[in-house]
Amino acid sequence: MKMGFRWYGSADDSIPLQYIRQIPGVSHVVGALFDVPVGEVWPIEKIGALQAEIEAAGLRFEVVESVNVHDDIKIGRPERDRWIENYCQTIRHLSRFGIQVICYNFMPVFDWIRTDMRHELADGSFALALEAAVVEGSAEDVLRRVQDSTNGYLLPGWEPERLADIRALLEAYQDVDNARLTDNFRYFIQAIMPTCEKYNVRMAVHPDDPPRALFGLPRIVKNAADLRVIEGFHDSPYNGFTLCTGSLGENPENDVPAILREFAGRGKAPFVHARNIRHTGNGNFHESAHLSECGSLDMWEILRTLHDVGFDGYVRPDHGRDIWGERGRPGYGLYDRALGATYLNGLWEAIRKDAAHA
């Protein structure tokens, strides 16, 4: 298991790389070029500069999160071939720097959704939360609510220029149901796989967050059955998953350890997001500290499952709470994610040593 930490770049992240370097057991930065518009080719010089900066801090850059997929590809518009060629060019460019894994998602319009960016927990910390009734409302209202509560940061996957004409974007998806989105996803995967295989870059699709349909938009990366369909587009280690325990676990019917066992067991999970969440009834949940006892997921069982199947990929602590007075980027402050990484590394050491002594 290689432990990473997501970072938004020196221009846009208040956490210095040196601080990340000081978290014990964190060896990798999970990064991206956030200033390249969705669909455009990532320039070689910029990728090189980001990697050089990360390496100068004594860390490695081998996982990208995300190279986002243009809506034309998801909608299946004729222009998609041009965007797909750009995507392949970005893969080639990333491969020059030894990037191993690209995390991405295939969610229409919205990336991850929370309705409360500052939900106070009993201990006075603040976590991200989702109230199911709010997402029954209009997409425009939820968009406004999210954008107004980010503490001035841009959220990953919530590019303002792309979401500026939300109505037009929603209309563009009007004829895209689950079946069409699935066809368009298959088309994308089958088009990029030869490049991924030739250049040795593994694709790892992130589950829908939350893993269910919202605002009448299709959602096709929600559960084990969906993952099997995606695996069937092209059965290869290059067509894999970012198994995000929090996102999958947001649906209590998803058996997260079983999903990990199945897909990581088949070598299809190069990347894992380790996060805990707590269900609070009626489809509501809030994020929690990583510890098993703080949420509804058993993190020991999750890591033990990964160990059992011989997982040797990348992991990162996922969203953290705001604690100790920190007011960070929603979900991406320093302190609670550092505690998360340390906890996960502690569990891993115990599991590894127990297994060696069994």
Please give the positions annotated as active site: 206, 244, 273, 318-319, 332
Shortest separation between residue 146's beta carbon and ligand DNO, angstroms: 12
Residues 6+ apart with CB under 8 A from 355: 307
Number of residues that bind ligand DNO (CB under 6 A): 11
Q: Is 276 in the site for ligand DNO (CB under 6 A)?
A: no
Q: Is 111 in the site for ligand DNO (CB under 6 A)?
A: yes
Q: Reduced to 3 states, what is the DSSP secondary structure of residue 29?
A: strand
Q: Is 331 in the site for ligand DNO (CB under 6 A)?
A: yes
Q: With respect to ligand DNO, which residue has the nearer C-beta, 231 or 318?
A: 318
Shortest separation between residue 349's beta carbon and ligand DNO, angstroms: 26
Q: Is 66 in the site for ligand DNO (CB under 6 A)?
A: yes
Q: With respect to ligand DNO, which residue has the nearer C-beta, 103 or 196?
A: 103
Q: Is 159 in the site for ligand DNO (CB under 6 A)?
A: no
Q: Is 321 in the site for ligand DNO (CB under 6 A)?
A: no
Contact 149, 345 (CB under 8 A): no
Q: Is 50 in the site for ligand DNO (CB under 6 A)?
A: no
Shortest separation between residue 15's beta carbon and ligand DNO, angstroms: 15
Contact 240, 272 (CB under 8 A): no
CA distance 274 to 1: 12
- Name the region of 170 (left: φ>0; alpha: ψ -120 to 50; beta: rest): alpha
Q: With respect to ligand DNO, which residue has the nearer C-beta, 65 or 71?
A: 65
Among 61, 112, 126, 215, interactor with ligand DNO by CB under 6 A: 112
Q: Is 238 in the site for ligand DNO (CB under 6 A)?
A: no
CA distance 339 to 289: 8
Is 223 exposed, middle or buried (CB count within 10 Å of its CB: 0-12, 13-18, 19+)?
A: middle
Q: With respect to ligand DNO, which residue has the nearer C-beta, 7 or 104?
A: 104
Which residues within the stretch 77-106 sit at the binding site for ligand DNO (CB under 6 A)?
103-105
Peptide bond into 236 cis (omega under 30): no
Q: How far apart are the first and last CA of the chain?
A: 20
Nearest Cα to Cα of residue 191 among 41, 109, 91, 62 = 91
Q: Is 114 in the site for ligand DNO (CB under 6 A)?
A: no
Nearest Cα to Cα of residue 299 among 258, 264, 259, 344 = 344
∠ Cα 335 255 348 (to 5°): 45
Among 206, 219, 268, 290, interactor with ligand DNO by CB under 6 A: 206
Peptide bond into 207 cis (omega under 30): no
Q: Is 287 in the site for ligand DNO (CB under 6 A)?
A: no
β-pairing, 284-287 vs 277-281, is antiparallel
Q: Is 20 in the site for ligand DNO (CB under 6 A)?
A: no
Q: With respect to ligand DNO, which residue has the nearer C-beta, 65 or 72?
A: 65
Q: Is 316 in the site for ligand DNO (CB under 6 A)?
A: no
Kindly list the residues in this chain that would bind ligand DNO in the complex (CB under 6 A).
65-66, 103-105, 111-112, 156-157, 206, 331
